[in-house]
Amino acid sequence: MTSTSPADTAIQTEGGIVTATDVTKVYGSGETAVRALDGVSVSFLQGRMTAIMGPSGSGKSTLMHCCAGLDTVTSGSIRLGDVELADLSDKQLTLLRRDRIGFIFQAFNLIPTLTAKENIELPLALAGRSADKEWLAQVVDTVGLASRLTHRPSELSGGQQQRVAVARALASKPDVIFADEPTGNLDSRTGAEILQFIRGAVKDFGQTVIMVTHDPVAASYADSVMFLADGRIVDAMPDPTPASVLDRIKAFEK
Amino acid sequence: MILTLARRGMLAHKRRLVGLTAAIALGVAFLTGTLVLGDTMRASFNEVFATANAGVDAVVQGKTVTDGPRGNEKAAVPADFADELEDVPGVRTIQPTIDGLGQIVGTDDEPIGGNGPPTLAGNWIADPELNPQRIAEGRAPRTRDEIVIDAGSAETGKISVGDRVEVLLPEPEKFTVTGLTKYGEQNSLGGTTYVGMTYAAAEKYLAEKGEVSSIILQAEEGVTPEDLVARVDPLLPRKTEVITGEQLTEQQNQEIQGGFLNFFTLFLVIFAVIAVIVSGFTIYNTFSVITAQKTRESALLRAVGASRGQVLGAVAGESLLIGILASVVGCALGIGVAALLVSLFKSLGAVLDSARLVIEPYALATGFGVGILVTLVAAIFPALRASRVPPLAALRDVASEGRTRMPVRAVVGALLIIVGVVTVSSIAWRPDDPLPRAALGSVAVFVGFVVFGPVAARPTAGVVGLPIAALRGVSGRMARGNAMRNPRRTAATATALMVGVAVVTMFTIFASSVKAAISDNFVGELRAEYVLSTTNFSGAGFDTAMVRKIRSLPPVAAVSTLDPASAIIDGEAQDITVVTVPGLEAVTGLDADLTRDGIAVDTEKAAELDLRLGERVTFEQAGDPATVAKEKRQAKRKARLTATAPPGAVPVEPPEPEPVKVEITALFPKSNLVNGILVPRSLYEGKLDAADKPGIYTLLIKGPPEAQVAAQRIADRYKAGDVLTREEYADEQAGQIDQLLGIIYALLVLAIIIALIGIANTLSLSVFERTRELGLLRAVGQTRPQMRSMVRWESVIIAVFGTIGGIGLGVLLGWALFSAVAETSGLGGTLSVPVGNLVVIAVVGALVGVLAGWRPAARAARLDILDAIANE
């Protein structure tokens, strides 16, 4: 808000629950080195849903992986709340993910040998924590899975599987949920349903969600959209609609 | 093109290649190594005999009589035949030999040797052409109380030249050691001990009066050994033969090969075959998993125009390359194994120091052929199965896991097991000729278990996994789920271990049952409280004077001897027990009114041979050929005699004496203590034509505890060992069985290792297959230790499943083996299942799981999360 340049108007760089500061990520070395992230500074606000968009190779997935503690940064800092991720060991990162972060992936979200219920409780079980029964019931009810809890993933439709994944992400009341193309494998109607659930979690429970997507419709469910290109944040848009997002993308492609 | 695919396929997965190669190579190495070891030992023995007989042109020896408890026994040669031989033209040297047994007592008062290799004694032959031994220190014996002994015994017993030592012949006699002998550079041969004495002393101590063991002949210049044999042959006394030195070497080779060496090699080959079978299952499973994973690749090949044959060809080519590689490695390893074993045997003195490894082409060809064949067969079946999937279905189908027609499997497997069990059960109610049924039943049960495996895999893994899931939380739950998700793979993975464990269990059960039967027979049926049994069964047995002295001890109530032997009764070889009549009933409780001049037969045997009380049967020790052959020989001899004899001479034909006939004077109820036919020692020793003095090996003593003390005092004087209570004796016998079991366990370790490699292989492949799933787990917060624990517990569940199957199968196989052996050997007894040992086996099986899961678990934990979950 301090800057007057149009591209910077909506880019929050501090004050959020997840804050990346001057993050670079370089794969490889020497001549074959690739700069996936090139000085990214961004802060994601608590209780909001933020979409990250950008063409293939723009670094959006890398940014998400780094913020989620799945990957390490080459330089710069990533903080979750007041925890500096760069200072954590692999073990500490694992525990951080388990206890404070939720994930929804595009595909292969569930463990095939576990039932829906067991999948939902997986992060809690891994932590050896007992589930908050009431909360769990509420989550299950919200995503409409009560009757499918004892089924295995192979007995569920794609949409149902993603709903289980959403429930799992919510179950441990994480500080932030990272969703990586959560509707990429679904038809548009089922995808809309899933996005409604995610949106609902933000609205009703104050859940923080960071979602990587290339689908303008999906992005329109977010409170704001960040645009990445060539490893930099090039723009931000509050209150997106499918049309406005599409227009912006078209503008980039020119 | 197809070969290029095959080669690339092989090189693309080096890790997998290592596991596969190791499994095949270990089996091949064991097989090749065993064969090379056998050939090397054979060559070594051949060298020993050839050297020993180098100067022998011909030898007159007794014909082989029965297979006694100490192997082949030969009839004696009348000593005065040597005089007759002096008249045969062309004979240069006549050297009678007397061979017997004598155990040297060391300066520490302990008898030397006797735990296997024989304790030999004989007349010292000075002629180095006729004797492979030489005197390394001192001089040859000159008087009746001088002897030479082998340098090995001298070392063991701390005996030096000039010492007075005792030799058990079996009566203890004192001699002065005048020299030490060596076999070439070797102190002794194969663990045997040797006492050489003068001819007069040997005649006195080792032979029946007027008998020698053999007469060695050397021919004059220009007379061939064959000529010599032809000239001596017509003059031969009854039950003797003359052969050339070369034939003698051949005969000795065959004796050792027909006996100990073949048994030894066969014993090892059996375990090599078990190892090969286990490695066969191991690689079959690995190929199954690989093929399943490659189904889509193969489908793509098919879609772009490869024929089914070409796709199969690629698989066959790849497995052929792996088979060749593994077999080459295996053969090389096998030679290394053999070299190791040979050097071990050299240090034990069982193989000549000078022996070189004998690597026959057939041994390498066998190992090589078996390795390649097993690999090809293991690879081609999964490939055939995969090639039946239509290409487009395979391309569309994401799940590469195979489906099984479980009901068919369940029915066929269960039927096979039932048929096998019924077949083996039939031995109980129709005991004759049980071996084929035991073998057939075992095969049916084995195949049944393999077929049934996948049906049992899911429920069994579920049950086994329950406590793990309960105790290990979510890692345990997921381990259980993973073990259950593909029952076919779980079963195939476990099969290799199942086979190994089954064999271990089978021998454990068999040994425990045999021990229980022996103990029952002795402790349950024997009335004598004490047993004095020689540890030197290849020796001469107990001194009869000692037996007399023990019998006449005041506290001793009764004494009898029980010694298994064999004889030919009415022309058929039979196992007999030689007993002393007085005291027999008191000592054994046998209700046999045995008299000294007749034999007793148990009712079962009598029925089998159709013998009646009072009937007279022929009784021979000599294994003379049938009468027909005898007549032929006589005719031939006559013809030759008339041809060589001067005209007018009447050939003198010694009459063939009639075989001895004895009366069956008693029938008795069958007892597991003795064989079916009892022969009094007096009859056996006196009336019958025994080759050498039949030894007394086991003495049963009835009396109060004072009798034990008194008998021990006498036994000590004769260095006869310890007078044991019957319980101690049964334990000692059991101890010997445990020793054998120990060796068998050691041999089976290899099979277990191969099974372990198999589980590790499959798990690695499964980990690879589940990369994304594992990545997801890590992403949502599974720690590396949790990941390791999960994979390891899956391995444990699979291993325990295999172990349970193996124990079940092993119990059935052990039951089959014991039923057959108990029936054929007359051991009797019932199956004894040692629960404690089986628990130990189960724990070891689970440990195999932990070990097998180690590396796959580590690999899974090292997995890069981003690689695993990347969408592209």
Shared domain for B609 and B462, answered yes or no, is no
* pLDDT at residue B838, rounded to an integer: 92
- Closest by Cβ to A97, choosing from B773, B780, B784: B780
Q: Average pLDDT across each block of 10 residues of chain B; the chain has 872 residues. List them in order.
A: 64 74 89 89 83 85 61 72 85 88 86 78 87 88 92 90 88 90 80 88 83 88 87 84 88 77 83 88 85 75 76 83 92 92 79 79 92 90 77 56 68 93 86 85 93 90 89 86 87 90 92 86 81 72 83 86 79 80 79 79 85 83 39 48 46 55 84 83 65 69 88 85 86 84 87 89 85 87 90 93 94 91 77 90 92 91 79 46
Token pair for residue B143? Answer: 């008087």
- Residues of chain B found within 8 Å of residue A106, distances taken between Cβ atoms: 871
Please say whether the dihedral angle defined by the alpha carbons of residues B390, B394, B397 and B400, taken in this order, is positive or negative. positive
The Cα B607–Cα B180 span in angstroms is 56
Claim to verify: residue B468 and residue B574 sit in the same structural domain: no
Query: Across the interface, do B773 and A108 touch by the CB < 8 Å criterion?
Result: yes
Q: Which fold has domain A46-60+90-253?
A: Rossmann fold (3.40.50)
Residue B405 has a pLDDT of 63
Task: Evaluate whether A52 touches A211 at the Cβ level (below 8 Å).
Answer: yes
DSSP, collapsed to helix, strand or coil, labels residue B822 as helix
Distance from CA of B482 to the nearest CA of A (A): 6
Q: Is the preceding omega at residue B132 within 30 degrees of 0, hence cis?
A: no
Whether residue B248 sits in one domain with residue B237: no
Nearest Cβ partner for B481 among A107, A113, A123:
A113
Q: Is B444 part of a structural domain of the chain?
A: no
Cα distance between residue B248 and residue B246, in whole Å: 5
Same domain membership, residue B250 and residue B220? no
Structure tokens at B366: 């066998």
Map tokens 């189960």 to a residue. Answer: B842
Cβ contact A108–B783 (<8 Å): no
Which chain B residue shows the shortest CA-CA distance from A174? B780
| Mutate which: B774, B778, B780, B866, vs A, most A CBs within 10 A | B780
Cα separation, B82 vs B76, in Å, equals 13
Domain limit, last residue, from B709, B727, B745: B727
Residues of A in contact with B781 (CB under 8 A): 94-95, 97-99, 123, 126-127
Looking at residue A78, its pLDDT comes to: 92
Spatial distance between the Cα atoms of A51 and A225, rounded to a whole number of angstroms: 5
Whether the CB-CB separation of B684 and B694 falls below 8 Å is answered with yes
Can you read off the two tokens belonging to residue B780? 């949502």
- Which residues from chain A sit within 8 angstroms of residue B482, using beta carbons? 113
User: What pLDDT score was predicted for residue B823?
Assistant: 79
What pTM does this model have?
0.79
Q: Is the pLDDT of residue A150 over 50?
A: yes
Q: Are residues B761 and B636 in the same domain?
A: no
Any A CB within 8 A of B490 CB: no
| pLDDT in the model for residue B626 | 34
Bridge partners (DSSP) of residue A237 are A225
- Exposure string of A207-244, with b = 16+ CB inside 10 Å and e = fewer, is bbbbbbbbbbbbbbbbbbbbbbbebbbebbbeebeeee
Count CB-CB contacts under 10 A for residue A19: 22
**C-alpha span between B368 and B32 (Å, rounded):** 8
CA B128/CA B134 separation, integer angstroms: 7
Tell me which of A122, A154, A176 to substitute to probe the interface with B (most B C-beta atoms closer than 10 Å). Answer: A122
Give which of A27, A60, A113, A130 to mutate to test B binding, by max B Cβ within 10 Å.
Answer: A113
**Chain B interface test: which of A89, A101, A111 (most B C-beta within 10 Å):** A111
Q: Is residue B529 part of a domain?
A: yes
Residue found by looking up tokens 């079991």 in the block: B741
DSSP code, position A148: G
Q: Contact A125/B474, CB-based, under 8 Å?
A: yes
User: Is residue A116 within 8 Å of A150, Cβ to Cβ?
Assistant: yes
Residue B789, chain A, CB below 8 Å: the answer is: no
CB contact under 8 A, A91 and B772: no
- Which residues from B are below 8 Å from A70, CB to CB? 779, 865-866, 869
Mean of pLDDT over chain A: 86
Nearest Cα residue to A145 out of A119, A126, A122: A119
Q: By C-alpha distance, which of B183, B186, B185, B180 is closest to B157?
A: B180
Tell me, what's the pLDDT at B523? 77
Q: B730 vs chain A: nearest CA distance in angstroms?
A: 54
Taking the C-alpha atoms of residue A85 and residue B609, their distance in angstroms, rounded to an integer, is: 92
- Hey, of A94, A121, A181, which one would you mutate to test binding to chain B, going by the most B CBs within 10 A of its CB? A94
Contact assessment for residue B330 and residue B28, using Cβ atoms and an 8 Å cutoff:
yes
Cβ within 8 Å, pair B473-A125: yes
Q: Is B485 close to A123, i.e. CB distance below 8 A?
A: no
Q: Do B484 and A113 touch (CB under 8 A)?
A: yes
Domain C-terminal end among B691, B707, B727:
B727
Residue B176 has what pLDDT?
Answer: 93
Q: Inter-chain contact A180–B871, Cβ cutoff 8 Å? A: yes
Q: How far apart are CA B127 and CA B589, in angstroms?
A: 54
- What is the pairing mode between strands A224-229 and A232-238? antiparallel
Amino acid making up residue B378: A
Same domain, B81 and B99: yes
User: Given this model, what pLDDT does residue B559 score?
Assistant: 86
Nearest to A103 among B772, B773, B780 (CB): B780
Q: Which residues of B touch A58 (CB under 8 A)?
A: none
Look at A98 and B866 and tell me if their CB atoms are within 8 Å: no
Q: Please give the Cα distance from B72 to B89 (Å, whole number).
A: 32
Instruction: Tell me which chain A residues have a C-beta less than 8 angstroms from the C-beta of B869.
Output: 70, 105, 108
Query: Are B708 and B734 in the same domain?
Result: no
| Contact between chains at A95 and B783 (C-beta distance less than 8 A) | yes
The b/e string for B50-77 (b: 16+ C-beta within 10 A; e otherwise) is bebbebbbbbbbbbbbbebbbeebbbbb
Chain A interface residues facing chain B, Cβ-Cβ under 8 Å?
Answer: 61, 65, 68, 70-71, 90-91, 94-95, 97-99, 102-103, 105-114, 118, 122-123, 125-128, 168, 180-181, 184
Closest to B860 measured CA to CA, from B804, B798, B788? B788
Q: Do A97 and B776 touch (CB under 8 A)?
A: no
Which residues, listed in sequence order, are joined to residue A26 by a DSSP beta bridge?
A: A35
The per-residue pLDDT for B1 is: 58
Residue span of the structural domain in which B303 resides? 1-57+244-402
In angstroms, the separation between the Cα of residue B808 and the nearest Cα of chain A is 29
Residue in chain B closest to A184 (alpha carbons) equals B871
Helices (H), B718-783: 726-769, 771-779
In a domain, B448, yes or no: no
Tell if the CB–CB gap between B781 and A126 is shorter than 8 Å: yes
| Domain identity same for B316 and B361 | yes
- Give residue B347's pLDDT: 77
- End-to-end CA, chain B: 30
- The domain total for chain B is 4
Q: Which of B194, B213, B243 is the last residue of a domain?
A: B243
Is the CA virtual torsion B662, B666, B669, B674 positive or negative? negative
Could you please report the per-residue DSSP string of B145-190?
Answer: TEEEEEHHHHHHHT--TT-EEEEESSSEEEEEEEEEEEETTBSSST
Percent of all residues in chain A with a pLDDT value above 90, rounded to a whole number: 22
Q: How many CB pairs under 8 A join A and B?
A: 78
CB contact under 8 A, B781 and A109: no
Rg (CA), chain A: 18
Residues B559 and B665 in one domain: yes
Distance CA B530, CA B541 (A): 18
Are residues B258 and B319 located together in one domain of the fold?
yes
Exposure b/e, B3-31, CB count within 10 A at least 16 = b: eebbeebbeebeebbebbbbbbbbbbbbb
Asked, for residue B178, whether it belongs to a domain, the answer is yes
- Is the same domain home to B667 and B717? yes
Q: Residues near B60 by Cβ (< 8 Å), separated by ≥ 6?
A: B77, B81, B85, B214, B215, B217, B232, B236, B240, B241, B242
pLDDT of residue A239: 87
> Do B680 and B772 belong together in one domain?
no
Contact B781 A184 (CB under 8 A): no
Residue A2: predicted pLDDT: 41
Contacts of B782 in chain A (CB under 8 A): 94, 98, 126
Tokens of A252: 């980039």
